[in-house]
Amino acid sequence: MGAAPGAILAVGGAEDKVKKRAILQRFVREAGGRSGRIAIVPTASSIPEERASFYSEVFGQLGAGDCVHVPIVTRRDAQLVANAELVRSCSGVFLTGGDQTRLVSVLAETRSFEAIRTGLVAGGVVAGTSAGASAFSATMIVGGQTGLNLRRDSVRLGTGLGIITRLIIDQHFSQRDRLGRLLAAVASEPAKLGVGIDEDTAIVYYGNGVIEVIGTGQVFILDAARVVVNGLGDAPKTRPFSISEVALHVLTDGDRFNVVERRVMGADEGPSEEEKSPRRVASAETA
């Protein structure tokens, strides 16, 4: 039997922090509720102390047992044994929004990042909102154009944290008109599923390869396994290219998707024992 991975929550940004707070409540519950301890890592933010203080207050109101600010601003901070041990002592880790490029450049391949990965494999939960969600991907969207004009410069890709290997995640999706850049991303990386997440919406990604959608918006899944692309190659970056044979799935709260089999799951496929358990037992390949 493999390791026991926890859950990954990728949030599309602008999650409800005041009223029902369903997404943040779910994260607190996955992290153990009153018996849990949450590490807040605001590395992506330009105002890290304010972000950490704010989320600590919100998680406390939602019943988290304890919250700690992990002060990682530089790679030196991320390499400190004390910060890595602080992460390791927590059952949940929350990555705030901000700049995903900064987050990856500071955190990747450091002691603190390895502590995050170790906690996930041991059954913990990792959540990221906005930039924090994008950074989960191995191939990460770092920028691009809005709208549906598909060109080589529609999207800029980089290397992410690699917590999730099968998905390319984009956020603030409908609100910032990002379908074109996600189409361009999967045209370049057809082996990966493109996942566009609206604001106040999240995917909960389990170790068994199942995505569950929660929140008030939509999640767009692009499957380019059979994609046909013309004009991408060495064409000028401002020239449009054509794309066909991309499957589009639009999901809402409660819908589930099997990433391994690339299909929407039926209503008669009830939650597995892994999904119902606070600590899922599945393959060590979590994503």
What pLDDT shows up at residue 4? 42
In a domain, 268, yes or no: no
Positive or negative: CA dihedral 180, 249, 193, 97: positive
- Note whether residue 136 is domain-resident: yes
CA torsion sign for 186, 192, 193, 194 is: negative
- CATH number, domain at 224? 3.40.50.880
Residue 274 lies in a domain: no
Statement: the pTM of the whole predicted model exceeds 0.85? yes
Residue 156 lies in a domain: yes
The answer to whether residue 28 is domain-embedded is: yes
In a domain, 281, yes or no: no
pLDDT for res 237: 84
Residue 261, burial from CB neighbour count under 10 angstroms (0-12, 13-18, 19+): exposed
Q: Does residue 199 have an active-site annotation?
A: yes
> From CA 83, how far away is CA 193, in angstroms rounded?
33
Residue ranges making up the domain that contains 47 = 7-255
Q: What per-residue confidence (pLDDT) applies to 278?
A: 46
How many domains, the chain? 1
Single out the catalytic residue among 91, 112, 188, 199. 199
Q: What angle do CA 257, 229, 241 make, to 5 degrees?
A: 115
Task: Tell me whether residue 249 is one of the annotated catalytic residues.
Answer: no
Catalytic residue among 45, 91, 130, 134: 130
Q: Would you state the pLDDT for residue 285?
A: 40
Q: Which of the following is catalytic: 30, 56, 91, 172? A: 172
Note whether 103 and 140 are within 8 A (CB).
Answer: no
| pLDDT per residue rounded down to tens, the chain (287 residues) | 233 468 999 999 999 999 999 999 999 999 999 999 999 999 999 999 999 999 999 999 999 999 999 999 999 999 999 999 999 999 999 999 999 999 999 999 999 999 999 999 999 999 999 999 999 999 999 999 999 989 989 999 999 999 999 999 999 999 999 999 999 999 999 999 999 999 999 999 998 899 999 999 999 999 999 999 998 887 788 889 999 999 999 999 999 999 999 999 998 886 654 455 544 433 334 46
Please say if 130 is a catalytic residue.
yes
**239 is a domain residue:** yes
What SS3 class is residue 173? coil
pLDDT at position 282, please? 34
Helices (H) and strands (E) in the chain, counts: 9, 17
Domain for residue 267, yes or no?
A: no
